[in-house]
């Protein structure tokens, strides 16, 4: 019900991938309430009798629930879901094992909670009875807090996660074909049609695969796969810089083919084909030579760029070249050489936001960074020798970092301000 309320009435909440995101509110609100409660207990404005009464009532309620769950938790809850029943029908004994594990976890957490509540209640009672001072109380709270956090956190990140890299076993063993491809130290991509292009993790482990390893991928790339890659359109495979193709021979054994027609990391084109929609754009890849022609969506071009921005007819001489110098996830660097003004297509996905292009350290205005061939990126390159760079510099990251820094600063100032106000009250 709470989740439905937030989805219906809070903007952007429905963009979260998991409904469990609502738990973040509790994770923030409950500790905040605890801090406010501790502030009142330490405040001189509240009488000792009121504090003792509140401590007694809170301990009975919270401690009572913890005691109830510790003693009767396994009887109060079933610890079974409909999915468990379905799995138990396939795996004999699964249900009993999973229920036993859940009951053990529930009992251990309930008992740990009961012990912590008892210790905290005793500490607060000793403080209110003036048996210990405020400093000892706060130090004790800090120790228990760290103890609790460390023990819970180690369930998710423990010593097993910190293993020397050389001791980590490889999830895949390199085949003879993988070893042969790895001899090539250049930058290229690999297509493994033998194992299922979009689902083969081993190819992506060893190489830059055009299939990737995750079901989460850009929609346009999925459409490119459905329309062309899965059907073996070599022009599309070439424009993705696919140098090695793994297939199967007549005995259904893996076979390696070297694709000498791959376009490379970037290339100059001299012809342009304009289409009127995204559908026409992806279909046009059936009938062009991607080495010499680039496809533009006329509709997007008209609404995004000025009339004089568009590509003209460019000459490409036989000596024109673009070579990749550096390749990282968030940074690409190329050297180009062309005696004429040229239009370069890069075998990298085009993203409208975040990526900036530079020629000789001068940033290209975003409207001159084009999307071509449905998924790739292209720019106009002046005649001569130039250094071309693509940098991932999303403004949202900078904005978010600034907001986070300000928030941490305010969070730090709150206790300092509270301390100064309380000190002023005591002085007066």
CA–CA gap between residue 42 and residue 180 (Å, rounded): 70
With bands split at pLDDT 50, 70 and 90, how would you rate the model's confidence at 25?
confident
pLDDT per residue over 318-375, tens digit each? 889 999 999 998 999 999 999 988 999 999 999 878 899 999 999 987 777 889 999 9
153-163 pLDDT, tens digit each: 777 776 666 66
Give 217-273 pLDDT, tens digit per residue. Answer: 788 999 999 999 988 899 999 999 999 999 888 888 889 999 999 999 999 999 889
What mean pLDDT is predicted for residues 114-132? 91
> Going by C-beta distance under 8 Å and a sequence separation of 6 or more, which residues neighbour residue 191?
197, 209, 210, 211, 229, 237, 242, 244, 245, 246
Contact 285, 373 (CB under 8 A): yes
Mention every residue, 6+ apart, whose C-beta is less than 8 A from residue 339. 317, 319, 320, 383, 384
- Quick one: pLDDT band at residue 44, thresholds 50, 70, 90? confident
For 164-200, what is each residue's pLDDT tens digit? 665 556 677 888 999 999 999 999 999 998 865 555 6
Look-up of token digits 């600063």: 409
* Confidence label for 64 from pLDDT (cuts 50, 70 and 90): very high
Per-residue pLDDT reduced to its tens digit, 85-117? 888 777 878 888 888 888 998 999 999 999 999
Give the H/E segment covering residue 216: none
Q: Determine the Cα–Cα distance for residues 336 and 267; give it in Å rounded to an integer.
A: 9
């Amino acid at each position: 019900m709470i989740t439905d309320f937030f989805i219906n009435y809070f903007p952007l909440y429905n963009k979260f991938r998991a409904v469990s995101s609502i738990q973040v509110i509790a994770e923030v609100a409950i500790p905040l309430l605890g801090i406010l409660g501790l502030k009142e207990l330490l405040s001189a404005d509240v009488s000792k009798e009121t504090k003792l009464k509140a401590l007694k009532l809170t301990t009975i309620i919270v401690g009572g629930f913890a005691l109830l769950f510790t003693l009767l938790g396994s009887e109060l809850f079933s610890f079974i879901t409909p999915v468990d029943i379905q799995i138990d029908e396939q795996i004999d004994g699964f249900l009993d094992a999973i229920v036993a594990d859940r009951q053990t976890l529930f009992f251990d957490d309930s008992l740990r909670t009961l012990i912590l509540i008892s210790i905290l209640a005793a500490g607060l009672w000793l403080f209110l009875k003036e048996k210990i001072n405020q400093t000892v109380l706060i130090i004790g709270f800090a120790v228990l807090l760290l103890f609790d956090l460390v023990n819970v956190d180690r369930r998710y990140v423990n010593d097993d996660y910190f293993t020397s890299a050389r001791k980590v076993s490889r999830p895949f063993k390199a085949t003879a074909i993988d070893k042969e491809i790895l001899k090539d130290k250049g930058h290229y991509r690999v297509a493994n049609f033998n194992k299922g292009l979009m689902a083969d993790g081993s190819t992506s482990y060893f190489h830059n695969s055009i299939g990737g390893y995750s079901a989460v991928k850009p929609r346009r790339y999925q459409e490119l796969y459905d329309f062309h890659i899965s059907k073996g359109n070599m022009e599309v495979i070439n424009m993705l810089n696919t140098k090695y193709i793994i297939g199967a021979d007549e005995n259904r054994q893996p076979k390696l083919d070297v694709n000498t027609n791959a376009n490379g990391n970037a290339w100059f084109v001299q012809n342009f084909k304009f289409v009127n929609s995204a559908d026409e754009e992806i279909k046009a890849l059936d009938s062009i030579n991607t080495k010499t022609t680039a496809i533009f969506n006329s509709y997007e071009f008209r609404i995004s760029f000025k009339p004089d921005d568009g590509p003209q007819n460019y000459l490409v001489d036989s000596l024109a070249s673009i070579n990749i110098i550096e390749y990282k996830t968030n940074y690409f660097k190329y050297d180009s050489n062309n005696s004429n003004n040229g239009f370069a297509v890069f075998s990298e996905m085009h993203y409208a936001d975040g990526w900036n292009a530079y020629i000789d350290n001068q940033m290209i205005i975003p409207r001159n960074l084009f999307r071509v061939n449905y998924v790739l990126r292209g720019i106009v390159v002046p005649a001569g020798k130039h250094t071309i760079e693509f940098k991932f510099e999303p403004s949202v990251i900078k904005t978010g970092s600034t907001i986070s820094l300000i928030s941490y600063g305010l969070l730090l100032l709150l206790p300092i301000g509270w301390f100064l106000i309380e000190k002023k009250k005591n002085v007066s």
